[in-house]
A and B are shown apart, each in its own frame.
Chain A
Amino acid sequence: MTATIGVAVFALIAVGVVGLEAVARRSGHPHATMTEVGRWLRSHRVMRWALLISWGFVGWHFFVQ
């Protein structure tokens, strides 16, 4: 039961991500797409490196460890 709740919450968050992206892609909606948020984050020099390091960490964590 605990595991089911855990997976359900992660699934809900994933649905939220897909839903928010879909809503943002509808023209005329004020929400931002993931690409737009990513572009904004990458406009800051420190955030750019933070994102790249996070990307490297994710790759190492999932595919090496």
Chain B
Amino acid sequence: MSDSLLADIEPNQGPSAPLPAVSTVPSRRRRRVALAALLLAAAGYSWLASDFDLSRFAPLVVGVPMVFAAVAALRSWIHHDRRRAASRSRERRRFGGLHHRGVLMWSVLAALLIAWELRELTGSPRVDYPTVTSLVGTITSFRPVYALAFLAWLVVGYRLIERQR
């Protein structure tokens, strides 16, 4: 409902009278509750996934969120692209308006990680040349850490497919 329409239906108000603010508190609270429920469900799922007795079902446990993410991404991104196409302000800014130094710093860190990972990958034995995979494999041999890592993976997936505002 537009502000002018609200002004039209409010009786006994002069042109300078303040318009009643449309409350967004219930929808915000609903969104927060839904997010908390989603996080709780993801935590439960991660704990289930970390059960080493169920390791033979690992492809299914990992595959389900992947398929769900792909479908949700397709829907979310089609909606996003349509909305962007409909809006007139489609100006392109370099680095999306981010400061070039910020992008450069993150790029340097990513390049360092890739370079060091490649250097370690070419070394042998693995005990002397640990890679990200071997390090993660070591620390996730404890069930709570495995569950936390799985939850982090799910959260990153959610952040990837959520609609951009």
* Interfacial residues, chain A to chain B (CB-CB below 8 A): 2-3, 6-7, 9-10, 13, 16-17, 20, 24, 30-32, 34-40, 42-43, 45, 48, 51-52, 55-56, 58-64
- In the complex the two chains form, is B140's CB within 8 Å of A62's CB? yes
Q: Collect the chain A residues with CB atoms within 8 Å of residue B153's CB.
A: 55, 58-59, 62-63
Q: A6-B130, A52-B69 are in contact. Are A37 and B106 (CB under 8 A)?
A: yes
Binds A, one of B7-15, B25-33, B34-42, B93-101: B93-101
Q: Which of B73, B135, B150, B164 contacts A63 (CB 8 A)?
A: B150
Of chain A, the residue at the smallest CB distance from B61 is A63
Instruction: Provide the main secondary structure of the chain A interface.
Output: helix
What are 11 residue pairs bridging A and B, where the CB atoms are less than 8 Å apart in the complex? A9-B116, A13-B113, A17-B109, A20-B109, A39-B164, A40-B98, A48-B77, A55-B156, A55-B157, A58-B153, A59-B153
Q: In the complex, what distance in Å separates the CA atom of A51 from the CA atom of B158?
A: 12
- In the complex the two chains form, is A10's CB within 8 Å of B135's CB? yes
Q: Which of A30, A31, A55 contacts B69 (CB 8 A)?
A: A55
- In the complex the two chains form, is A13's CB within 8 Å of B164's CB? no
Q: Name, among A16, A20, A62, the residue most crowded by chain B CB atoms within 10 Å (CB to CB).
A: A62
Of chain B, the residue at the smallest CB distance from A54 is B160
- Additional A-B contact list (6), CB under 8 Å, known A10-B116, A56-B70, A59-B153: A10-B135, A13-B112, A52-B70, A59-B62, A63-B58, A64-B59
Q: In the complex, what distance in Å separates the CA atom of A38 from the CA atom of B24?
A: 27
User: How many interface residues does B have (CB within 8 Å)?
Assistant: 47
Interface string of B144-165 (1 = CB under 8 A from A): 0000011001001101110010
Instruction: Indicate whether B136 reaches chain A with its CB closer than 8 angstroms.
Output: yes
Q: Collect the chain A residues with CB atoms within 8 Å of residue B142's CB.
A: none
Q: In the complex, what distance in Å separates the CA atom of A60 from the CA atom of B58?
A: 9
How distant is B73 from chain A, measured CB to nearest CB, in Å? Answer: 6
Q: Collect the chain B residues with CB atoms within 8 Å of residue A32's CB.
A: 98-99, 102-103, 106
